[in-house]
Amino acid sequence: MKLLQGIPVSPGVVIGRAMVLEKSLHRVPFLILGPDEIPTELARYDNAVLAAIRAVTVDRDSIAATLGTEPAKIFEFHLGLLSDGSLMDPIRKRIETEGVNAAFAVVEAFGDLADQFRSMDAKVFREKANDVFDLERRLMDEISGGSMDRLASVDDPVIVICHQVTPAEIVSFQSEKVLGIATDLGGRTDHSSIVAAALGVPVVVGCKSVAEEVSDGDMLIIDGKTGTVMISPDESTIEQMRRNIEMLEAYKQSTGELVGETSITLDGEKVHLLGNIEFAHEIKQVIARGGEGVGLYRTEFQFLTSSKPPTEDQLFEEYAMAIGHLEGRKLTLRTLDLGADKYTQAQEMEPERNPFLGLRSIRYCLQHQDLFRRQLRAILRASAVGPLQVMFPLITCMNELRQAKLILRDVMEECDDDGIAFDHDLKVGMMVEVPSAALMAATFTKEVDFFSIGTNDLIQYTVAVDRGNEKVASLYTAANPAVIKLVKSVIRAARRGNVETSLCGEIAGDPVYTMLLIGLGLRHLSLVPSQIPAIKQVIRKVKVEDCERLARKVGSLDSDRRILATLRNELQKQVPQALGGWSAEQVAEA
């Protein structure tokens, strides 16, 4: 048995056979084909090149039609490579004369080209190496016949293993055929991890070499709570993990019985639980798990999972569908959080060196106003269908907020002029997810109707850790005293300014933090739908005075380790079953 440690994303334990959808593009099998196999391999290569050209052409044309010719230029580079005889002809000749398999010939040729770009002095050329590897990945998928087609053809559910996975690929997974997911790359709260967690299966990312260590059909155990992947476990380990699965299932059943109950503390304090979603169809799951509405609708996923940007009508239809599913319940839409993802970086002639500190979220929208206005018009049109409120992401200063509100008012005037009905009293809020916004929260209360504290980014920007970098994942923790102090200060400022505040980060769905958040004064939490019953269980078994006492104690501690130990021990005393069958000591060791 071999044990790999990754980053836990979605809890649960699963035992099953592996299906490796994609290995690292830098390592593929080297095969020498027989003379009778070469014609078939040449045809495979030729068809793959033609299919890649067609796909890139479609992407170029759709981007040019919606975002303009400048963002579409990157696809001209891809098409140029695919049509470059000096690159593509030698690959074909190697297959024909040396009998080398197409995958190996492609990887070697594209790797050499990427090395040439990386050795150049100009930054713009060095970064072209990433485009070369993106194109290599597309071509390799065509050669292998398509990873998603392989997954669709399996008879029994499998554990999906891959080097890297995009949000679009995850959305295409048929959930009934996926037991769990493990990847080489990724962070706990990046876009792909968020979508994967929404499948409701165990997910572990950042395993570094799982795609190389695992082969199709290998027996695996994935533990999404501890972030471990066990390869070819022995029978005693399998039996032990089966007992753990039984405990987890019993725990899920006990929390599932609370779906129809009110999330109220023992001393009568109501705590509202809402769901985080990426698509309107997920609302059914929110309601089924006992959620009171949607506290965070991540609207950018319509863009990240589509081959072309959606139109205004398509956006409106999605938002209107969400309103219909909610039947009058709360709906909070966050405007586009784009810019720090492959979707937008791939459209830039010169990708940003550090996009998380660059043109992302509200900054991206303010510089791409056609896109921003299109979404705002769709939101306003949907507001006439039923109740909703809108919030702007990653506000760092007052100028950004006021400019966004000014554009919103301008779009409102356009809708009035066009005779389009909308809610003139639309509530407008903001995400508090950077230290500057948290420190200025008292001032922002005069400009917005509500706050939503986004701890995923707040942690990243407070402790200077890239949340998508598995190498520093251990430093990314909400238990950092500075993060807790910032959250506390925002809640206090909001209370004084009479502004409703919710928290929609990952910790909202972690039972370990529930008592602390209640003790800090939060009464609205927005979380992954699957975690709503577990958080409700904690709420219904604690008193506010105990939570406030815990918050005061945590405020006196100076390290994340001491804070986490305190939170776990208190949860063990108050609601031992909230650890899902694991003792506080076991969780701490994990």
3-state secondary structure of 437: helix
> What span, in angstroms and rounded, lies between the C-alpha atoms of 314 and 317?
5
Residues 6+ apart with CB under 8 A from 119: none
Token pair for 65: 């039609």
3-state secondary structure of 292: coil
Residues 6+ apart with CB under 8 A from 325: 280, 281, 283, 284, 287
> Among 169, 166, 163, 238, which residue's Cα sits nearest to residue 207?
163
Question: What are the CA-CA distances from residue 444 to residues 119, 390, 441, 515, 522 (Å)?
Answer: 47, 16, 5, 27, 18
Active-site residues, by number, are: 191, 504
What number of H helices and E strands is found in the chain?
27, 16
> What span, in angstroms and rounded, lies between the C-alpha atoms of 575 and 579?
8
CB-based contacts of 230-233 (< 8 A; 24+ apart in sequence): 230/1, 230/2, 230/3, 230/4, 231/1, 231/2, 231/3, 231/4, 232/1, 232/2, 233/1
Q: 389-428 in b/e burial notation, b at 16+ Cβ within 10 A?
A: bbbbbbbbeeebbebbeebbeebbeebeeeeeebbeebbb
Q: How far is CA 470 from the centre of its chain?
A: 14
For 419-530, where are the alpha helices, taking DSSP H only?
Answer: 435-439, 441-444, 455-463, 481-496, 511-520
Question: What are the CA-CA distances from residue 349 to residues 64, 130, 243, 564 (Å)?
Answer: 14, 12, 53, 44
Residue 468 buriedness (CB in 10 A; 0-12 / 13-18 / 19+): buried
Q: 562-577 in b/e burial notation, b at 16+ Cβ within 10 A?
A: ebbebbbebbbebbeb
Q: 140-159 in b/e burial notation, b at 16+ Cβ within 10 A?
A: bbbbbeebeeebeeeeebbb
